[in-house]
A and B are shown apart, each in its own frame.
Chain A
Amino acid sequence: MDIRPPTIAEPPVAQAQPTEPPAGGNRQAELALIVFFLALVATVPIFQAGLELARDGRVEALEIFHRKPTSVNLRAYEHHLEDGSVVARTLRPWFQFAQFAWLRDGGKKALVGRDGWLFYKPGFDDALARGREALSGTNDPVAAIVAFRDALAARGIHLLVLPAPNKSSIYPDKVTSRFAAGRTVLSPTTRQTLARLRAAGVEYVDLFAAFAQARTNSASRGAPALYLAQDSHWSPAGVAIAARIVARRLVELGWVRKGAMEYQERAAPVKHLGDILRMLRSPGLERRTVPERVPCVQVVHGTPAQPYQDNPNSSILILGDSFLRVYEQDEPGSSGLIAHLAKELKQALASLVSDGGASTIVRQELYGRPALLKHKRVVIWEFVERDIRLGLEGWQRVPVPPAATGSRD
């Protein structure tokens, strides 16, 4: 009978026994390595402390003795040291440049696509992420939208929802050659959310279908792209389509009658360094990149022509994120969705924009500015597709400001 100790692990040589260090190495080489290592790990903090002393008269690392040692404080301290590290801040842009330029790696913020196209990484991740997770509780967009719709309805205001597609949903062929030119995709979460909105009777504008149709047409005609190559936002062409479709939908629903204001258009091209590129925070990269030429179209009225301006007393309020801000508040101004929608509807709109905060923050801001809802008949709520899953502050239920509340604006 086998009486040897049986094994789930019988290491053939050592049974997890320590091994002795090597002997007979080159003493100078050993000393050189030790000096290099100790010098490296000691020089960085000494250099940092010296700089801080010269600059501020105090050493950030010693802050640890002024804080209560809680987990939160320790994390904050550690992040503070990392963020403040001069060595890290000096090296990081160069490394990011090398990673981007030579290895086509854009880190956590950017995804390098085809033909010079860049994609905002969180939006790309959103398109891929599992759709099986339940979006529930304070993170359920449909519940928040329905609650907002009902609260507005109680005040006699209609709600039109406008999800702005992720760039990678409309241009998957610029992400990877696995997609045929002109194809678009819909993530499982977005598909599910749109279906739930339909089921809940929420009125929304399906820009996914509209942009897909536009891409099919533009592929044959060589029309301008609907999104910018280096930026996460839509192009003037995308803005124009969105404005047209939203306006048409509002009229079809009978919620809005076209006004009498005659707006004109004038060319206002700008050179634009995309936000995705800027997120990489690599000055070297920015210097080496040719800014995109964006053929903006400014909405003007009157003689001499004045750029479009909002009217807070309008019966239409549009809420949203940076998709409303681009070309409207950024240069050249009055060339974004708000201005073009106003032109389509022949009337000025009221607007409230919160960068990255369309899921919850913009409604919180609205609650703090009740005058914006005065005289309103329609609210258009724009949010970017990725916010369905990744909305900042989730999808909280935020009450609509009461009608009687006085203005604080």
Chain B
Amino acid sequence: MVFTTNIFLFYFLPLFLAVYLSLPRAWRNLWITLASYVFYGWWEPWFVCLMMFTTVMDFIWGKVITRPEATPFQRKLAVTACVVTNLSFLGFFKYYMFAAHTLNRLLALVGAEQFHVMKVILPIGISFYTFHSLTYIVDLYRGHATPAKSFTDFSAFVALFPDLVAGPIIRYKTLAAQLARRDSTVSRFASGITIFMIGFAKKILLANPVGHVADAVFNAANPLPLDAWVGVLAYAFQIYFDFCGYSDMAVGLGRMLGFEFPRNFDAPYLAESITDVWRRWHISLSSVLRDYLYFPLGGNRKGPRRTYFNLAVVMLLGGLWHGAKWNFIVWGAYHGGLLGLERRRGKQSLYEDLPRPVRIGFTFLLMLLSWVLFRADNLAAAWHYFGSMFGLLPAAGTAPLLAADIYTPYRLVVMAVCAALVFQPVQAHDWAQRPLTWPRVAVVTPLFLFSVMTMFTQAFNPFIYFQF
């Protein structure tokens, strides 16, 4: 189910809230689990079976790891088995087809017979909920968390619908206490509504219209250079407002239920270096990769070479986490390379000495280039697009037609609003963190009402990060 749909907003959410708020506290986690399974199974009911299976399995592994009589070897064996099993599921559903097609291409190169590749459907959100579970198991093993008090608490944590399919990636230890006890207050609930409304508006009023521009340009045959730059600019806005909007809605819904989720974005397009970008963009993913991959690899404690190697591994896997395509791997390598360069300079960008607006501009430009890799259908399409951006390819005869689609008053206004919002320091999340006053209500209510009305006129438009 998608937050910005009729079915979620007018059926699932009111029904869920009505039951949730009228249940005694002891029953609420069970209701969250059941409702989250409906929410998740809405795409494909059998996906729920997979999630239930891994949830039961991880809960049992958690018990095994934290048994008082377990020896260090048994604990290590259990955590290894659990991590391998979870990653095997993720690997099969997400990477099997990619690996098999790649292998087939290699076989074709050497003239060997290719094998049949079965079609595997990717369960939505598997990357997110697998990481949720893994943080639980690893934190238990490290002694950073205590085991879930009940299966209901754990299943509610894994399935929790607000952050289930596109994050933020929340660690068990962050929510452990809240799963046991959380307070629903008027202020908290109202604050949750505010953030939800802002996230909703970001998706409907900004991300979807600029996404149309990005789609039009990326799908066009050899666009003109100016249009190609406008297309990737539109995509930069789209992915930010789409993902940040989703995260805001997740935080808002969580808060309505009494949970406190971490923020996932902090004005990423105001970053002054790529190192800074990763402090501000998808914060929950970068911190999970750091704590559960970079540090275990040795971080920077094993010398400079190993540090660069670790950085490269983390970013390559970070890229691969987004999807089983070569362009995501190259995207990860691009960021890993830039982070390595900046690390050599003491985590400073190559243009550190320039004025701040120029540093922000350069960083944004580097981000734009990386978004081409991220958005293109495949690596060949990405190179093709770069060719259009830099005028290396002749534009198609029909390319000038694009102007009629992307430079309409509507699109230009939305692009301008996006630019104004991303390049100013007060982020919606911060704005919503302030105490609610009448003027704020007067801003968010018409904004939400207008967004809902606009939603009725838009086609189904799922969030970009659902595919990851």
Contact = CB atoms under 8 A, between A and B. Distances in A.
The reply to whether chain A is a binding partner of chain B is: yes
Interface of A: 1-3, 5-12, 14-34, 36-38, 40-42, 44-45, 48, 61, 69-71, 74, 78, 81-82, 85, 87-88, 91-92, 95-96, 99, 102-105, 107-108, 111-113, 119, 124-125, 127-132, 168-169, 172, 175-179, 185-188
Interface in B305-325: 307, 311, 314-315, 318
Contact of B186 (A34, A88, A105, A177): A34
Contacts of B441: 29, 32-33, 36
B383 interface: no
A168 to B, nearest CB: 6
A27 B411 CA distance: 39
B413 interface: yes
Nearest to A177: B403
Given A33-B444, A88-B456, A91-B453, A130 B400 contact: no
Nearest to A9: B286
B396 A103 contact: no
A405 to B, nearest CB: 40
B287 to A, nearest CB: 4
A146 B261 CA distance: 61
Given A6-B307, A11-B266, A18 B401 contact: no
Interface stretch (B105-113, B139-147, B187-195, B356-364): B187-195
Contacts of A91: 453, 456-457
Contacts of B290: 5, 7-10
A3 B301 contact: yes
A69 B283 contact: no
Contacts of A15: 287
Given A87-B456, A104-B408, 6 more contacts: A6-B299, A9-B290, A21-B192, A21-B260, A30-B187, A36-B445
5 contacts: A74-B45, A95-B453, A102-B409, A168-B401, A188-B396
A8 B339 contact: yes
A38 B216 contact: no
A199 to B, nearest CB: 21
B397 interface: yes
B30 to A, nearest CB: 20
Interface residues of B, number: 96
A169 B397 CA distance: 10
Contacts of B18: 42
B398 interface: yes
A111 B41 CA distance: 37
Given A96-B457, A179-B400, A188-B396, A85 B6 contact: yes
B22 interface: no
B251 to A, nearest CB: 9
A319 B154 CA distance: 64
B410 A105 contact: yes
Contacts of A21: 187-188, 191-192, 255, 260, 433
A129 B283 contact: no
10 closest cross-chain pairs (CB), A and B: A9-B286, A6-B300, A103-B410, A18-B260, A30-B190, A178-B400, A25-B435, A25-B436, A88-B456, A16-B262
B7 interface: yes
A96 B410 CA distance: 12
Interface in B128-161: none
Given A8-B290, A69-B45, A95-B453, A19 B193 contact: no
Contact of B44 (A3, A34, A71, A99): A71
Contacts of B314: 8
